Structure 1
Amino acid sequence: MITCIAVDDEPMALEVIGRYCSKSDLVDLKAVFREPVKAVEYLGLEKVDLVFLDINMPDLSGMQLLQTLSPRPMVIFTTAYSHYAVESYTLHAVDYLLKPITFERFLAAVNKAVASVAVALGEPPALFIKSGPQTYQVRVRDILFLEKEGNYITVHLADRDILVRENMVDVFDLVPAADFVRVHKSFVVAIRHITTIEVHQVTVAGVKIPIGSTYREALRSRLGLDKLL
């Protein structure tokens, strides 16, 4: 579990973050602040792993606040304005949540923060995947491939499948892009588990998965292959 605080001048926004944190075993919310200066004072005295940080605030914007901190904790920016996204990533934010924030999107962002901590500590990264009323802890290395089925994605592991209500366009909010590659409009596969590659298919754990024509060149480039046999 990682420690965090939330900074936002809107009480309702803080209530949402607080409620989501209470539903997750990933984060321990230590404090919330409506005044950014108070948050800076707190961070000067207390160490936390992560800050949920609104961008538009009076006196001190979230981005200005972050630039005052040394060392800097991990940050997930929260805002109602999408045009700040690019700037937020130049400040090495873990993620960028656009309001209104859904719990699934919150969980995906926190997963990224937890994975960053795990990598820094040399631990195998794990994800927490929400399926209906349950949330499962899954090691990234145990995921074989993901398959789109209607409005759901099935996460295939060696010993079980987990059904998630998610769109394929947002699949890399669910799993880290560094470890997975999309090979078809309905399939994303774990690079580590690919055993063979053919012109029209890859094999993962004995399962033949088609390669879509629009994804072939990107797959070739990603894997450093001169050509697909």
Structure 2
Amino acid sequence: MTLSAIAIDDEPRALEVVQMLAAKVVFLDLKCSFTDAFEAIPYLQQHPVDLIFLDIKMPDISGIEFVNCLQQVPMVIFSTAYSEYAVKGFELNAVDYLLKPYSLVRFTQACNKALELKKWRQGQLPQYVVSESPFLFIKTGYEQERIMLNDILYLEAEGNYVAYILKNRKLLCRQSISEALAQLPDRQFVRLHRSYVVAIGHIQKISRQSVWIHSVEIPVGASYEGTLAEIRTLLSL
């Protein structure tokens, strides 16, 4: 599988760097490069690509503004010399964020993330690994991280984020608890509170108003008591 791409940067030297590095990534097909972002818009309308290498700080239109004006947005890897733009890249769901100057290794890492994401979206990654446990990708900062479903103990809403509590670590993803639940298999995960989703297979104990995931007590909201009764039946408790 290959990744088709274009690069946009108002600095010709920066484009030369992308072109040089792209030539060393065997699965990357860099179609065109643009110093004028506006020239890239009609090109993308006629020639859709998988990925854009996009500078953020440009004179006439920023990379962020450019992404917002596209009707069909490819995957994006932002690049800039200004680290303060990383949060904006994260908010736009960028595949990665390259801080100039970057190395071939760092460039290749970003490309690998895009390739894996493309495979995942097209269903070309295996649905099961050796343990026969499916996985999913979640956004952590400006990276996509793959986690195994059977490693998830429970999810907890924390403001604008959801904390994925795993067997040996905790990950934060900027999303709502409803959005998180929508990407999980409903036969394995259930919402028992407006702020909590639990993995059914990790429930150790159930009381009238709580469940325990190992040693952690998770409250059951009043509107989810019917769901709790269904779990009792499912687990024969």
Answer yes or no: is 1:24 the counterpart of 2:12. Answer: no
Cα deviation 1:60-104 (Å, max 9, x = unaligned): 111111111111111000000000011111111111000001111
SS at match of 1:101: coil
Aligned equivalents of 2:65, 2:48: Cα separation in 1 = 19
Aligned equivalents of 1:55, 1:103: Cα separation in 2 = 20
Q: Which runs of 5+ in 2 are unaligned?
A: 131-139, 152-165, 172-198, 203-212, 216-237
Query: Contact 2:4–2:31 (CA<8 Å) still a contact in 1?
Result: yes
Query: Contact 2:95–2:144 (CA<8 Å) still a contact in 1?
Result: no
Number of aligned positions between the proteins: 154
Map of 2:117 onto structure 1? 116
Query: Contact 1:220–1:226 (CA<8 Å) still a contact in 2?
Result: no
Aligned equivalents of 1:72, 1:176: Cα separation in 2 = 17
Map of 1:177 onto structure 2? 145
User: What letter is aligned with 2:39?
Assistant: K
SS at match of 1:177: strand
Aligned equivalents of 1:124, 1:38: Cα separation in 2 = 35
Map of 1:206 onto structure 2? none
How far did 1:179 drift?
3.0
Q: Closer, same or farther in 2 for the Cα pair 1:141/1:20, shift >3 Å? A: farther
SS at match of 1:179: strand
Q: Closer, same or farther in 2 for the Cα pair 1:29/1:219, shift >3 Å? A: same
Structure number with larger C-alpha Rg: 2
Aligned equivalents of 2:77, 2:5: Cα separation in 1 = 10
Percent identity (aligned):
41
User: What letter is aligned with 2:146?
Assistant: A
How far did 1:220 drift?
6.5
Query: Contact 1:6–1:14 (CA<8 Å) still a contact in 2?
Result: yes
Map of 2:46 onto structure 1? 45
Map of 2:76 onto structure 1? 75
How far did 1:178 drift?
2.4
Aligned equivalents of 2:48, 2:72: Cα separation in 1 = 10
User: What letter is aligned with 2:16?
Assistant: E
User: What letter is aligned with 1:112?
Assistant: K
SS at match of 2:61: coil
Map of 1:226 onto structure 2? 214
User: What are the residue-to-residue correspondences of 1:1-229 with 2, within 5 Å?
Assistant: 1-124=2-125, 177-179=145-147, 219=168, 226=214
Q: Closer, same or farther in 2 for the Cα pair 1:176/1:63, shift >3 Å? A: closer
Q: Which runs of 5+ in 1 are unaligned?
A: 126-139, 143-171, 181-190, 195-216
Aligned equivalents of 2:170, 2:98: Cα separation in 1 = 30
User: What letter is aligned with 1:178?
Assistant: R
